[in-house]
Structure 1
Amino acid sequence: MQFLHPVFTITILILICYSFLEVYGREIKNYKSVWIVVVVLILLAGFRKFVGADYGSYLNMYSYFPFNATYSDIFQKAFFQQNSLEVEWLFVFFNNLFFNFGFPFYIFTFFVAIVSLVPKFYVIEKNVAYPATALLLYIVPGFFIADCGQIRQGVGMALAIYSFRYIKKQNLPMFLFVMYFALGFHKSTVIFLPAYWIAKVPLNKTKIIALVLFCMILSPFQIYNYFSALNSIAPQEIYQGFSDYVDIEGPSSGGVKFLDLISLLYLFFIIFFDKETCKKIPYYEYMRNLGVAGICLYFIMRGSPIFSTRLPGTYMFFTALILPNNLAVIENLSYKKFLHLILVLFVIFYYFVFGNYQAVNGRFTPESYQNYLWD
């Protein structure tokens, strides 16, 4: 049984304690001190040393692009002009900026960690009754894969998630403005552009079940193979290392997958607590729609380790908002505590799944994790 490095284990245990305080409290209380945990996560991600599946690639990029990509190339890409720049323009802009100012790579990753984590928790805090519980549900494995791994997508996701602020306000120009910068960090965030309209689609339990069942039926047909544009978002040959890192069962495994069970757990909460949560939590139906979209995308892309993890990611983030809000509206205290315990046990179980299947390659174990703050 593989544990994560003590700094991660202790941080997760602290979040579990906060989660119990939230759910077992007499009234809903927002603990501002959870921001301290967010700061710790920023330090753990930002100052990590040769940690994360893609760390080596980004380290090489840091010294490569300043000598091979001019600011003219970058701004051409920003205005959708064709050139030889293969990596998203805004990431290369900050990469070159930090390098040219003489900052070491860990200062750049520290900046990236701030931009990646602060918007995510800001959205959590503004939209979730139990923010610490939502962060707990996100951290395993989202924090390790996105914020400590594929950092371009981590930042792109953060900006796309922040755009939820403008979905609620029905401010389309600002939504598109934020999404433009999200695309500047990772082109896979283009999949989130329909979110502005998806959030407003009227759904109920019957429609949700029908949609998910329809997507499950589509799964064996691998319809994503007929859309060549998807390869430009997440090309298989470039991200094989990422595929090996995130895929637990392996591409050839048959039957029910671990991620299938997770998606069905999310669906259980969405269906059984839909009506009550819609009544009591502002804009819950928007979060629910985006979470359902993530589940549907997962099942459609299920046959591809790359597409099924990269493309639904931003939508699936909203499941971490949905479940704590579902808990908050349950009036039967014993039932609420029981379901909360199920979620905590799920996080603990996922902790060990991640520890045994992915943490070794990502160097998150006690033997391999290093940080510039103490090494």
Structure 2
Amino acid sequence: MRRFMTTLAIDGSTLEGGGQLIRNSATLAVLLRKQIAVHNVRANRKPPGLKPQHVAGLNLLREISNATVTGIEKGSQTFTFHPNAVTNGEYLADPGTAGSITLLLQVSLPCLLFAPRELNTRIADSDVNEIQPQNSVLTLCGGTNALQAPQIDYTQNVFLPFLHRHLALDGIALSIVRRGFFPHGGGRIRVQVPMRSTSLPAVNLTERGDVTSVRGIAYVAGTLPIHLAQGMARTAERVIMDANTGTARIEIDVIQYAKDRAGAGIVLWAETQNGCVLGGSALLDRKDRPEKVGEAAAQELVRNLRHGGCVDEHLQDQIIIFLALAKGRSNVLSGPLTLHTRTAIWVAETITDARFETKELEGGQVLISCEGIAYGEHPEVTLAHIEQPDVSSS
């Protein structure tokens, strides 16, 4: 008997009402094989509707999950997304702009981590457990160091280490083929994504520990002079030292990237004795002095360190999907909740059976708790990947 699925309506203007709501909704819809219809897309932005970056991300998920979609086009304020089974493989996404590469990674990584085993031949049920998982490969284009998104260096040094240390997600290999900056883009990364055959462990991260080191990069590219990066690094180091963060080890590399595209910025990250990594970053605008940019990145890092949490304000919302998918109860200590995080929690509770609690503590800290759904606890090979026997003559 054919099973009919109900379409879940999602209001894209809820809370933060931006692109993150779109990405998280589509990602969880793919993982849980739920049909969604999103209206009021990016209603809290001017102009509203999908931008090329969102279109590229949704089309990437469409390809990964062989989804049936409507309204996936620039400017659209409504769309539907009806996913099928996820297939591992090699995928390319290119918005044709300087849109953030790391946001394309955010939307696709959870889906490919749990891609089902791929079967190209007829198999018996008894052979299912002997199938070896295959890696997927993502080629993502656009801006590696883009506005209003995590810079690729943050993803490499803060986000991915969190997945490795606290969620046992090993083997994710990210390589930067070419840097891309606003407004021209042109960046490219390749990411190898291993398939996970078991559920994620719960995360218990409530004791940050002392800061052991602060590291970072200050960079320029194109014809911008190296002294701009030196000014950013020098000022950032001074701000961190003056803030008495508890570490005497500060190492900020000054880097000159390729001459064929212009851009500049700084990314900082602090590591603690309990395996926490918190970041701060900023991009250099033409009208900014490098000292101002270095100061902004350092102040962001210092602000998050002073909050006393185990994750910074940008990592907060990025881990919500993973906490929702994990097995058991997770507890993560953070600073004040951002609107992005509250939106990510709303989306997770709307689409999954995960349940979150947030408790404000003294000093502005917040304990984020989640009872996850143990996604992947019983991995199955989907019927879409199995050649069914011909019973027409029987």
Q: Report the TM-score, using the length of structure 2 for normalisation.
A: 0.27
**Higher strand proportion:** 2
Structure of greater relative contact order (alpha carbons < 8 Å, 6+ residues apart): 1
Q: Report the TM-score, using the length of structure 1 for normalisation.
A: 0.28
